[in-house]
Protein backbone atom coordinates (compact mmCIF):
# COMPACT_ATOMS: atom_id res chain seq x y z
CA UNK A 1 0.00 0.00 0.00
CA UNK A 2 1.31 3.46 -0.89
CA UNK A 3 1.87 5.99 1.93
CA UNK A 4 -0.14 9.19 1.58
CA UNK A 5 0.46 12.18 3.86
CA UNK A 6 -1.26 15.58 3.90
CA UNK A 7 -0.53 18.47 6.28
CA UNK A 8 -2.06 21.89 6.95
CA UNK A 9 -1.68 24.64 9.56
CA UNK A 10 -4.75 24.80 11.80
CA UNK A 11 -5.01 27.04 14.85
CA UNK A 12 -1.26 27.70 14.83
CA UNK A 13 -0.42 23.98 14.89
CA UNK A 14 0.39 21.43 12.20
CA UNK A 15 -2.39 18.92 11.43
CA UNK A 16 -1.12 15.83 9.58
CA UNK A 17 -3.14 12.91 8.21
CA UNK A 18 -1.30 9.74 7.08
CA UNK A 19 -2.60 6.56 5.52
CA UNK A 20 -0.94 3.49 4.05
CA UNK A 21 1.32 2.72 7.04
CA UNK A 22 -0.91 0.88 9.51
CA UNK A 23 -3.47 -1.94 9.40
CA UNK A 24 -2.84 -3.19 5.86
CA UNK A 25 -5.66 -5.75 6.16
CA UNK A 26 -8.22 -3.23 7.47
CA UNK A 27 -10.64 -1.41 5.17
CA UNK A 28 -8.81 1.76 6.09
CA UNK A 29 -6.57 3.26 8.75
CA UNK A 30 -5.48 6.84 9.40
CA UNK A 31 -2.77 8.23 11.68
CA UNK A 32 -3.58 11.78 12.85
CA UNK A 33 -1.06 14.17 14.36
CA UNK A 34 -2.02 17.59 15.74
CA UNK A 35 0.59 19.67 17.54
CA UNK A 36 2.61 16.64 18.68
CA UNK A 37 -0.37 14.51 19.74
CA UNK A 38 -0.89 11.27 17.79
CA UNK A 39 -4.03 9.13 17.35
CA UNK A 40 -4.80 6.25 15.02
CA UNK A 41 -8.18 5.26 13.63
CA UNK A 42 -9.00 1.93 11.97
DSSP state string for 2-25: --EEEEEEETTEEEEEEESSS-TT
Segment 1-42, tens digit of pLDDT? 688 899 999 999 999 999 887 666 666 788 899 998 888 877
Q: Decide: helix, strand or coil at residue 39.
A: strand
Domain count of the fold of the chain:
1
The predicted structure's pLDDT at residue 42: 74
* pTM for the model: 0.74
The parent domain of residue 37 ranges over 4-41
Instruction: Find the Cα–Cα–Cα–Cα dihedral 19, 21, 22, 25, rounded to 10°.
Output: 90
DSSP 29: -
- Residues 19 and 5: their CA atoms lie apart, in Å, by 7
Amino acid sequence: MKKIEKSIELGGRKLTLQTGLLAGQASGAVLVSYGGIFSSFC
